[in-house]
Structure 1
């Protein structure tokens, strides 16, 4: 069984797709964790990019400038484990998100294809349109289901040596006590506004490019990995400001002044956050961390799609062998 030449949404059983998506999320997250921490730290930083690099701002927090200096600063002040802060909720997030995303993508595609004849459409939806709708629906559904884990990942990655939360269990307890259930969904609005076009564009570009790159033979890569990389970079650039706003809102609340950046402003909603950032930091403020985000997007998408394809083939072969024994 080969994925080459066929769409990923046509392969494997529902259980195999779910398992492959979860496996892809697990591995991809561990690989890109350090870049994810760097991205979050840069997104939460509010000082001007023209400020000289120093170790502390007026509020006692670090000032980062660029991906490599930020990596070095975290290694020097927090050690190697600092680059994997928030990895436990992030691993849970990526596993659950990957499983939900690919399952919802496949299910939405099946619904669209079944609805076409019932709606009187003589021709199926164009590949790009079908993939955009299915990808957007899958991204939205997976985001809502896994959002509390995303918020926890951001808060753990944002804390320095002065730990706000000492464990995942205590973090959940503290947020529930001090902020209520709504505290776990801070920033969900801009999160959905970002993920719907992001995943729509991602899958539309991926499914369009993948057949043309299916026979591409590169070391440690595949057509799916290359298509996933190009799709992710395209989608990420267009929706990045909403991702930054989501991160800023996720660290609002009673612990706002206790993270590694202690001068994060108080925002009132997504629109208010955009206005404050534009007023205080300019347009460039909405793209803080874009470079490392794109650096992260390429390996994350390549690893995710490559792992998904090979995991799906593995689970499918495993299922075939099990059927043969029966």
Structure 2
């Protein structure tokens, strides 16, 4: 590799100088990005939003039963048994929220990442990925939290459908009921999003440098699975807290995050914070492979079409 070789994050271009071909001094091996003299914010926003929506829809549809089992394991108290019927309960309503939320997340993440990578030196690229992941998570939480509240209450058998859930939650708890557990959601998802995307991006950078080529679809999927499994493991206790606060409804067993933590420790012990870890890690690991695989493939397809649109 020449001294001009440079790598950037996922979605950016990996270039190698070629002394034998001056007219092709820089060769792109990242098919998912087209270089522009100026940053095409709207183009990146559109492509990222479409790719995020596609990836979110595929993952949610494929892995919803595992998520349902995870939620029921976290919600059960004492020695009660979980119910394995209706594992797809609430899928349609959940997709109605997941698709725009995923579009919003990637739509914010990708432009933010690319802007920050222009500001930070290359050896601080991880900071750009962490910050962009947190920004995407914060923006999408506006849609993700009500979606999660409705989904988890349907999964635990409190409501039969998303319209019924929304109507009854608002009637009994007010509009704020749709944002139950918002603080715990941010406590879980901001570090989750930041860490997962940082691990994914940094692994891709290292792999590209070592391989001196763009990554294949299976390689993107494997890296996504690894990033998801690691992040899912370390954030499981936060997910348990979020689940308990979101599904409690008007009963108000917990008054807040601290009260929830103390109550679980006192009544169920510290092991309760790791309930559902198996299904969660499986769900997020497989989900990471599907999400990032679909995400990168969709970005590549959209990037290939962009020159035709520009002409």
Q: Aligning the two structures, in what range does the TM-score lie when normalised by the shorter sequence?
A: 0.7 to 0.9
- The equivalent position to 2:107 in structure 1, one of 100, 103, 110, is 103
Q: Normalized against structure 2, the TM-score is what?
A: 0.80
Residues 1:165 and 2:181 aligned together: no
Q: Normalized against structure 1, the TM-score is what?
A: 0.77
- Separation in 2, partners of 1:15, 1:286: 39
The count of residues paired between Structure 1 and Structure 2 equals: 272
Write the mapping of 1:109-188 to structure 2, written as runs, cut at 5 A: 109-113=113-117, 116=119, 123=121, 126-159=124-157, 164-188=158-182
SS at match of 1:304: helix
Partner of 1:294: 281
- Separation in 2, partners of 1:91, 1:225: 22
Partner of 2:246: 250
Residues 124 and 319 (structure 1), Cα distance of their counterparts in 2 relative to 1, 3 Å cut: closer
SS at match of 1:83: coil
Residues 1:27 and 2:58 aligned together: yes
- Give how far 1:92 is off: 2.3
Highest RCO, 1 vs 2 (Cα 8 Å, sep ≥ 6): 1
Structure 1 alignment gaps of length 5 or more: 49-56, 58-62, 65-72, 257-264
Partner of 2:202: 208
- Give how far 1:137 is off: 1.6
Structure 2 alignment gaps of length 5 or more: 1-6, 13-32, 34-42
- Separation in 2, partners of 1:16, 1:198: 23
- Separation in 2, partners of 1:321, 1:242: 46
Residues 216 and 224 (structure 1), Cα distance of their counterparts in 2 relative to 1, 3 Å cut: farther
Partner of 1:260: none
Partner of 1:8: 10
SS at match of 2:253: coil
Question: RMSD across aligned C-alpha pairs, in angstroms?
Answer: 2.4
- Give how far 1:221 is off: 5.2
- Separation in 1, partners of 2:202, 2:233: 19
Residues 286 and 298 (structure 1), Cα distance of their counterparts in 2 relative to 1, 3 Å cut: same
Residues 1:236 and 2:232 aligned together: yes
